[in-house]
Amino acid sequence: MITAPHQLFSTIWRLRLKIEISRGRTKSDRSRRCLLLAGLVFLAVQLGVGLILDRSLPKIRFLYAEQVMNAAAGLSRSPDIVFMGSSRFRGGLNMGQLQEFMSTSFGADAPLMFNAALPAGDPFVMDYLIRLLARQGIAPGMAIIEVSPETVMLGCPWTDFEIIRLITWQDMPDALQDFIASWKHISHLPSSRIIPISLYRKELLTWIFDSPPPYLKAASAAAPPPDRSAAPDVNKGSTPEPAEDSTKSQPAEDSTKSQPAADSTKPQPVPGNAKLFRNYQIRGINAQHLESMMAYLHQRNVSVILVGFPADRVALDCYTPEINRKFMDYIEYLGRAYGCSFVDCRYRVPNEFFKDEVHLGPAGAVLFTHMLESEVLHDAWMNFRRSQKNEYSGVEGAGK
């Protein structure tokens, strides 16, 4: 019981202090809840957008594939032969030369060919693309598929590109061992899964505003580009090529996407770096998808020819006898299991025809194309046509 005024004041003061402290705690709690809620909203939006991006493939994340699809849609009919691979196939095949050769050899029976290769086109990409093309009604009779020791290995050098372009939450369990094997080269994994809005902001803005950034741009003071029609284009052919869009931030095999300046000092994953082939094993997401694609094509009676694309001496030196043995054993297994054939052109082109370790220059493209058309495609197409005719006449005979 309060007996004196000073006790009354003391009690009131203690009460006020308690109220102030509890208000302070309330304010602090409020701020903590606010920050927690903001963090949850931020994460939820990021993950939500990430899921939408996964489901809307290839539209926003994988514009190169979208371009290939558009190019395929522009064909007069379903192509007879589809080439699938990476920028090596893309730049190393002179489609015009190829089409001309086949037309000269076969006349009206010449195949319509389509180059569906795209940068960093490993088996994961090829499997995805062939199914997309099938949904569009593309049903080739033959598929020429680029393959090399590095594209079927655990921890393929292009895993980071696949993280940006193709890998979804569903693929994460299967791709885990590839991530572990190539942990030094997968810098985009956290941002692609946790903050995809940041990683794909250019693509998202292009999709939202129907025009790529930057939007604040003065007219360029640079000289107009040189007249491209004057120089021969080794890739010109009868099939419409996807437009080269410099505003797209999709990676070529040796460029980086949305990288801050500091990351440009990282070593690029090209075969010349022998460290990539340490603990070489053929398994993981790319080997799985290669076999999945082979099974898919085999089911649809598509004749498959695997091609070991040429490489220069520096890259070839990375293929130790042990690696070559494992690779060839694997190719043999694929042949037995899926009835495909293999043409090894890796050691066929001299060094001077390369513009870097794995990409052919214009003269090299002419040489390789000639090699392919005369040694592989001509006979392959002839046999394919023969078997088709036999099948047709067999069907007619049965009908009678």
Residues that bind another protein (CB under 8 A): 27-35, 37-39, 41-42, 45-46, 190-191, 195, 197-198, 201-202, 204-205, 213-221, 249, 258, 260-262
Asked if residue 161 lies in contact with residue 195, where contact means CB atoms within 8 angstroms, the answer is: no
Helix (H, G, I), strand (E, B) or coil at 319: coil
Instruction: State which residue, 98 or 204, has the beta carbon closest to another protein.
Output: 204
Nearer to another protein, 45 or 73 (CB): 45
| Complex with another protein: residue 17 or 35, whichever CB lies closer | 35
Least separation in angstroms between CB 208 and another protein: 9
DSSP reduced 3-state for 145: strand
Structure tokens at 397: 């005979």
Nearer to another protein, 7 or 28 (CB): 28
User: 122 or 203, CB closer to another protein?
Assistant: 203
Strands (E), 206-337: 303-308
- Residue number with CB closer to another protein (214 or 399): 214
- Minimum distance of another protein from residue 249's CB (angstroms): 7
CB 219, min distance to another protein, A: 4
Cα–Cα dist 79/130, whole Å: 12
Radius of gyration for the chain, computed over Cα atoms and rounded to the nearest angstrom: 29
Residue 178 dihedral angles phi and psi, to the nearest 5°: -70, -40
> Could you give the CA distance from residue 288 to residue 345 in angstroms, rounded to a whole number?
24
Residues near 325 by Cβ (< 8 Å), separated by ≥ 6? Answer: none
Q: Which is nearer to another protein, 53 or 84 (CB)?
A: 53
Say how far apart CA 149 and CA 105 lie, in whole Å. Answer: 33
Residue 214 CB, nearest distance to another protein (Å)?
4
Calculate the dihedral angle through the C-alpha atoms of 53, 294, 378, 120, rounding to the nearest 10 degrees.
40
Task: Please identify which residue in the block is written with the tokens 């990288």.
Answer: 259
Question: In the bound complex, what is the minimum distance in angstroms from residue 165's beta carbon to another protein?
Answer: 17
Spatial distance between the Cα atoms of 261 and 270, rounded to a whole number of angstroms? 20
Name which of 36 and 176 has its Cβ closer to another protein.
36
In order of 8, 40, 187, 214, 265, the CA distances from 259 in angstroms are 68, 27, 10, 17, 10
162, amino acid identity: E
In whole angstroms, the minimum distance from the beta carbon of 253 to another protein comes to: 19
Least Cβ distance, residue 95 to another protein (angstroms): 32
CA distance 353 to 311: 10
- The distance of closest approach from Cβ of residue 193 to another protein in the complex, given in angstroms and rounded to an integer, is 12
* Separation between Cα atoms, residue 259 and residue 249, nearest integer Å: 10
Rounded Cα distance between 83 and 37, Å, is 50
One-letter-per-residue 3-state SS of 149-197: HHHCCCCCCCHHHHHHHCCCHHHHHHHHHHHHHCHHHCCCHHHHHHCHH
| Shortest reach from residue 191's CB to another protein, in Å | 5
Nearer to another protein by Cβ, of 31 and 393: the residue is 31
**What's the min distance (Å) between Cβ of 167 and another protein?**
18
Kindly tell me which of 27 and 325 has the beta carbon lying closer to another protein: 27
